[in-house]
A and B are shown apart, each in its own frame.
Chain A
Amino acid sequence: MKMKKILIIFAHPAIARSKINAAMRGAVEDLGGVTFHDLYAIYPDFLIDVADEQKLCQAHDVIIFQHPLYWYSTPAILKEWLDLVLQYGWAYGVKGRALEGKYFFQALTAGGDTDSYRKNGLNTFTIGELTAPYRATANTCRMEWLPPFTVLGMHRGMSDEEINRHAEEYRRVVTALRDGTFDMQKAKQNEYLNSNLDLTIRKV
């Protein structure tokens, strides 16, 4: 079976101060078939090269947005990226089929814990509800949407073991996606991509 190519579009304006994102990055950066693309490093002045970005997207089968959840959304540069790169006639519209059939999901980290992302919690809405715009975006671009890989509760503080566990899970998901051992249909039923990993990843 042909290996899938994976593009991780990474957006964190202060990676030096984010242990979890650094760990997750470290866990996947060196994997074969994976392109790790740090937007803030490549475009510190936000001058995004649209043609380059589009070529990059077309050369991959899975597109992941890895980012912290800022104000229920992405860091600023990722919004800029969406605004510029997903052009009409390329990403959407009758003739915009460049992204058709590619898999898309977010790998996000957030400060609040699971309880806060509930109807009666501090944040009022669930992660699934809050990430609806990205689901809609994937839909408009005819992409296969998957639930977000979610790491919550960063504000409580997180032990190194816990961080490493999340990073390792991230690595498992990305590897399984690449190798075609990930059960997309089962995964779609879950709230998060990283819930019940033992059920969604087939043993080879």
Chain B
Amino acid sequence: MEHFLLQLFIFLAAAAIAVPLAKKCGLGSILGYLLAGIVIGPFGLSLIGDIEEVMHFTEFGVVMMLFLVGLELKPSLLWQLRIPILGMGGTQVVLSSAAIGAVSLSGLPWQQAVAVGLILSLSSTAIVLQTLRERGIMNTSPGRSIFSVLLFQDLAVIPILAILPLLATVAVIDSGTHGSALFDTSSLPGYLRILVTLLAVSFIFFIGKFASRPIFRTIASTRVHEIFVAAALALVVGISLLMMAVGLSPALGTFLAGVVLAESEYRHELESDIQPFKGLLLGIFFISIGASLNFTLIGDHAPLIAAVVLGLLGIKWLVLMITGTLFKMPRSERGLFAIALAQGGEFAFVLFQYAKVNGILPNDVVEPLISAVAISMFLTPLLFLLHARLTAGHDGDRQDRAADTIRHQGNRVILAGFGRLGTDLGRFLIASGIRPVILDHDAANVDILRRFGFEVYYGDITRLDLLAAAGAAEAELIVITIGDVEKARELVHLVQKHYPHLKIAANASDRPAAYELMDEGVAIIRRETFGSALSLGQDVLKLLGMHPYEAYKLMRIFRKKDEDSMPELYKIHRDDEEKYISMYQQHNADLEELMKMDLDADMEEELDKAWSVGKLEG
């Protein structure tokens, strides 16, 4: 236990020190993690023990990342991407495998050359996606293309795993079990295996589409937040286990689950719950890659490894440029596309290990290749930096793209709270052609509203991560209709601190609540019951026989006078408060002030000034 905690502490502390440093130097978080890994690894301070074990465990971060990516990809969007996925991805994998295989033939028998080609054609999902996110280019068109290729590669792992055993030439050293610990499908006949696999995939669909909603709703209604987190984690881990049991990539399985859940109202909540776990696991994964760099080996075979790294990056870069050209990618985007995917990936570690164990590749081939892959991954963030430097100055193309994304996502309204007031407000906005992102923490409410076609999400809006997930960075304004003024204040704080560009409009349940929001500097405040009170007042005047237009006018005049008096009454209220009078006294003082104002206001006179000359008339 103590040992585990010590190891954990070393990893976390290394990350906490290295990442901010790397960010300060403009290197991005991944390089920070990798550097931290080198420092605490066997060739640095030698602080950590079993790196491979750690790497194996934290690979799960990649699975979580794909789940999160899936959550952001609605099925319709995925369908739109089918041509880049199959076309670009397929071209990239086939051409890269062939080219790398052909070069490898110079020193290896053909079976080994094929295996090396297949394994090295894959890129690093973890590093690339993390970098795209960090640089904010995930939703641009080159970002989409890059993602499509990565997705195809994840699919390609399955056939590659199937082909590799056929290439075995070396006597098997270790015939240890490589199937699942739970249920080994490899013992089943072929057709049954396919059947089981299909069943597993449809099970994921069933869970995501039908079972998840009632389950999450029940959990959400308990209002115990950590149980929701637990359920979200259980979902991801469970799907991974299922996928491994049937011999599919867990990353692919959770990605599918993510896509199915992308239209769920719990999407934002799931996203913000899984996010920190993914971040930590991936971070430690990157650290372990840094730590696994075998500098003795690299030193011994320096020229060979350097040649392999350069060859790998060069060949893949060339293939990617060709792929980009074939698919008519704009010239300006091709460079980023090629740089982003030129490295080897974390799958290579797994597959090389698998190849070694199954007698496909001998150890002396695998070792330098693993080092080369790790170095190429290490170089990727640097290449991104280099690319950004080189293209920063010279094309106006980039600006066009930036404007495009703003137009696409901009002009958004976040509606925080969808209760009695929020419902009508939301209806009004939707009827006026504005589709707000609605957030509410009443699960039953959310459920009903979703059925009527509202875009409503479940979650506690006063959490920063949920605010981010709702698109606060791109939104234009936030409307706060939360009844609880403390919560509303908390949210105002959060918005002012993290999203100062967001305009705030708020509802206050009563006058003191309005004063509290005024304390926070909120400019647009509407008192919840004020509008209804005045409308009723207008009705009363009409029922008493007053002409409807006069009743309407009086209502308007009263409203204006009340609004005009707010700042002054606010000041008096706060002054009184400084005298520490009791809340009851405060209420009376406020009321007295209000009544004085109303008696002084001669609204009839205001009404009389128009349409008449003195006391005569026309």
Contacts and interface: CB of A to CB of B under 8 A. Distances in A.
Nearest to B614: A155
Interface string A19-52: 1100000000000000000001110110000000
B608 interface: yes
23 contacts: A13-B553, A14-B547, A14-B550, A14-B610, A14-B611, A14-B617, A16-B547, A17-B611, A17-B612, A40-B547, A41-B547, A41-B549, A42-B548, A44-B551, A45-B552, A68-B611, A69-B618, A70-B618, A110-B618, A111-B613, A111-B618, A154-B616, A154-B618
A141 B76 CA distance: 54
Interface residues of A, number: 23
A109 B613 CA distance: 14
A154 B615 CA distance: 12
A152 to B, nearest CB: 10
B607 interface: yes
Smallest CB-CB A-B distances: 8 pairs: A44-B552, A40-B549, A111-B618, A44-B549, A41-B548, A44-B548, A68-B618, A14-B611
A105 B561 CA distance: 40
B554 to A, nearest CB: 11
Contacts of A41: 547-549
Contact of A109 (B548, B549, B618): B618
B140 to A, nearest CB: 45
B617 A18 contact: yes
Contacts of B607: 14
Which one of A15, A17, A69 has the highest number of Cβ atoms from chain B below 10 Å of its Cβ?
A17
Given A45-B552, A111-B616, 11 more contacts: A13-B610, A13-B611, A14-B611, A18-B618, A44-B551, A68-B611, A69-B618, A110-B618, A154-B617, A155-B618, A157-B616
Nearest to B545: A16
Contacts of B610: 13-14
A16 B608 CA distance: 11
Nearest to A22: B617
Nearest to B552: A44
Nearest to A110: B618
Interface string A47-79: 000000000000000000000111000010000
Interface string B194-218: 0000000000000000000000000
A17 B550 CA distance: 11
Contacts of A18: 617-618
Interface string A125-154: 000000000000000000000000000001
Nearest to A20: B617
B616 A40 contact: no
A17 B548 CA distance: 14
Interface string B594-618: 0000000000000110111100111
Given A14-B607, A17-B611, A70-B611, A40 B548 contact: yes
A99 to B, nearest CB: 26
Contacts of A42: 548
Given A44-B552, A45-B552, A70-B611, A15 B618 contact: no
A15 B547 contact: yes
Interface string A108-128: 011100000000000000000
A154 B616 CA distance: 8
A155 B613 contact: yes
A155 B616 CA distance: 6
Contacts of B552: 44-45
Nearest to A154: B618
Contacts of B618: 18, 68-70, 109-111, 154-155
Interface string B539-582: 00000000111111100000000000000000000000000000
A136 B552 CA distance: 33
Interface string A168-190: 00000000000000000000000
